[in-house]
Structure 1
Amino acid sequence: MRAIPSHHVVVFLCLLCASLALAVASAAALALLPLGDFRGVLVVLAGVLLLYLYAFALYRLFLRLLPLREGDVAPGSQHELIANVNMLFYLLLFNSLVRSHVVPVPLMRLVYLALGARLGTNTYSAGALLDPPLTRIGSNTIIGHDAVIFAHVIEGERLELKAVVIGNTVTIGATAVIMAGVHIGDHAIVSAGAVVTKDTRIAAGEVWGGIPARRLKAAPAAPVEA
């Protein structure tokens, strides 16, 4: 893994400090309200919530101005700056939220949408989406408990970003791992604990499982019309 250049860290810290300053200012304004005996607790909780909300907003603004795109990330490029700032947001701020299991699954859907994931209606994840801006999931899909989906490839000093695309009515079992570049068709099933290696294509209706994952069951044959 490459070392993150110091000026990339500075860019991230500027965004983080801006989020913190906005959260502190907003919490200080709330402290002026008549909040009763629990004022201190309420102000601290509001400050933490506001920190994340402002961080979400500045993170999305950063990616709107400098989009995170797929492909090899060349050293010293602007693409590397964007990828590293994205990584720092997750390592130092968002990962603790995604991995904590404190936030209920329906609310985590809102978190992932706020972070840029494309999720269809009635799609929920009890696992971790580590690269929401590069994660696209259709409707009526469920990601099982502690499953992990990520859209980055780190091989030595090589870094590449590849979107993960999952169709409609797909089931991803608990603790499964879906690697970068994977495409999963509608109505497919990935069994619990499976490891779907990068760039794998799972066709609609297929069942996959194992380490590494392989096809266990083909898609049902289409009914023959009389």
Structure 2
Amino acid sequence: MSGTILPFNGIWPKIADDAFIAETAVVIGDVEIGPESSIWYGCVVRGDVNPIRIGARTNIQDGTIIHVNHDPAGDYRETGGGMPTHIGDDITVGHMALLHACTVESGGFIGMRSVVMDGAVVEGNAMVAAGALVTPGKRVRSGELWGGSPARRMRELTSSEIEYIPYSARNYAKLGAAHRTGTKAGA
């Protein structure tokens, strides 16, 4: 493990032993990162006022910011309020995305420089296009491509796009392992 790993209010991140955390990534507070996942260069994952959960084989690419929503009534551990961020298994989050108090279900895909806002849900086998702005509370359904600002349903995904989602997650799991261990990718 590398990167800057910091506690907040006495809570340390919990990171799987085989996850890759790039040396310039910052992971703070109530964050859990699953096996074979990767947090790339320049990312910030800040679980200070609510939890962030990242599943297995999920890649959070360079420059991405992941945060949560607080509960104005007090500490989420006491009130249960505010909104956490849940990111499932086998997900690709493209470079410089912003995920805020949202849910990305296992097998979802988030394009580069896209924004997914509070209360939004990206279902498995759904894709958010590069540069899209998914506004609060929207649901990107399985099999759909959403794009634009604000994002809207553009079309159904093709079979090759659906097949690419798990391929991308597997490829980044291998690449993260190579960075973590210093071995050649794919070896």
TM class, shorter-length: 0.5 to 0.7
Identity of matched residues, %: 28
TM-score, length of structure 2 as denominator length? 0.53
Q: Which has the larger radius of gyration?
A: 1
Identify the match of residue 7 of structure 2 among 41, 53, 56. Answer: 56
Q: Which residue of 2 aligns with 1:142?
A: 92
> In the TM superposition, what whole-angstrom CA distance separates every residue of 1:119-155 from its partner, at most 9, and x where no partner exists?
111012121102297111111001111110112xxxx
- Which whole-Å CA distance do the structure 1 matches of 2:143 and 2:152 have between them? 14
Change (3 A) 1:103 1:220: closer
Which structure 2 residue ranges, 5 or more long, are not aligned?
Answer: 13-22, 27-36, 70-82, 160-187
- Number of matched pairs: 119
Distance 1:145 1:220 in 2: 23
**CA-CA distance at 1:60 after TM superposition:** 2.2
Query: Whose RCO is larger (CA < 8 A, sep 6+)?
Result: 2
Partner AA of 2:24 in structure 1: V
Does the CA-based 8 Å contact 1:173-1:190 persist in structure 2?
yes
Q: What are the equivalent positions in structure 2 for 1:30-109 lying under 5 Å apart?
A: 53=5, 55-56=6-7, 58-60=9-11, 102-103=24-25, 106-107=38-39
Do structure 1's residue 176 and structure 2's residue 114 form an aligned pair?
yes
Q: Give the C-alpha shift of residue 218 in structure 1.
A: 2.9
Distance 2:100 2:137 in 1: 12
Alpha carbons of structure 1 residues 113 and 146: separation in structure 2 relative to 1, 3 Å: closer
Q: Give the letter for the 2:59 counterpart.
A: Y
Q: Secondary structure at the match of 1:60?
A: coil
Aligned match of 2:152: 214
Write the distance in 1 (CA, Å) between the matches of 2:47 and 2:135.
Answer: 27
Which amino acid is the alignment partner of residue 111 of structure 2?
Answer: G
Residue segments in structure 1 that go unaligned for 5+ positions in a row:
1-48, 62-100, 152-163, 222-226
**Amino acid in the other structure paired with 1:203:** R
Q: Is the 8 A contact 1:113 1:119 kept in 2?
A: no
User: Secondary structure of 1:140's match?
Assistant: coil
Q: CA RMSD in A?
A: 3.5
In structure 1, C-alpha distance between the alignment counterparts of 2:47 and 2:119, rounded to whole Å:
22
**1:56–1:114: 8 Å Cα contact kept in structure 2?**
no
Contact 1:124 1:142 (8 Å CA) reproduced: yes
Kindly provide the amino acid, as one letter, of the partner of residue 67 in structure 2.
Answer: L
- 2: CA distance between counterparts of 1:134 and 1:102? 24
Q: 1:146 to 1:113 in 2, by over 3 A?
A: closer
Q: Taking structure 1 as the reference length, what is the TM-score of the superposition?
A: 0.45
Report the counterpart of residue 130 of structure 1 in structure 2: 67
Greater strand share, structure number: 2
Q: In structure 1, which of residues 189, 192, 200 is the aligned counterpart of residue 130 of structure 2? A: 192
Aligned residue identity for 2:106: N
